[in-house]
Amino acid sequence: MKFLSTDELKLLEKHHFTQPRLQLVKNPFLFCCYTGLAYHEMANLKKEHIIKGFDGNEWIQMKRAKTGKIISVPLLPKAKEILVKYDKVGDYALPRFSNQKINSYLKEIGGIAGINKSISHHMARKTFASTVLLNNDVPMEVVSELLGHSSIKITQEYYGKVVQIRVSQDIIRLMKK
């Protein structure tokens, strides 16, 4: 599966890059690990897309480019921390780079941080679904909604393996009792 594990995510969070360009790409990538935004949504995220939700918390609300569906994603604390760093950037919420440039820098970032995977921007979306949500017992229906998938079947096809791994781990733990 192409996503960062909890340990890899923590490793990347803690690593400070001396090259400003790498730090500037790392933060939006991490932001997407905690929001599930695809490249297009991240690149076009404006401050106006961050709203006060029905629950009093901040949410991202925007149209998903691929499906045209409105997505609403709650801002987790780590995502908020990253947004604060770029508060004075202008209309856009995060620094903007081309997808090709981001992916090139992410390969470099992975190597320097000691992550033995070829990192791409899309991996952030998969990390959000797998590591952040499913590994923390968020139901598949909620994952599907947060990712803006057009149907839950798409989510199940992509992330069913993650759920199987969790079931296996739970059964092993149960058998030890």
Q: Are 117 and 2 in contact (CB under 8 A)?
A: yes
Q: Residue 136 falls within a domain, yes or no? A: yes
Residues 76, 66, 13, 133, Cα dihedral to 10°: 50
**Structural domain range at position 149:** 6-176
Q: Residue 140 falls within a domain, yes or no? A: yes
Q: Residue 1 falls within a domain, yes or no? A: no
* This prediction's pTM: 0.88
Query: pLDDT by residue (tens digit) across 45-79?
Result: 999 999 999 999 999 999 988 888 899 999 999 99
Q: What is the mean predicted confidence (pLDDT) over 166-173?
A: 76
Q: Residue 155 falls within a domain, yes or no? A: yes
170: CATH: 1.10.443.10
Which pairing describes strands 70-74 and 50-52: parallel, antiparallel, or unpaired?
unpaired
Q: Residue 73 falls within a domain, yes or no? A: yes
Work out how many domains the chain is built from and give that number. Answer: 1
Beta bridge partners of 51: 59
Instruction: Report the C-alpha gap between 38 and 156 in whole angstroms.
Output: 18
Query: pLDDT by residue (tens digit) across 104-133?
Result: 999 999 999 999 999 999 999 999 999 999
Residue 122's nearest CA partner among 12, 42, 68, 20 is: 42
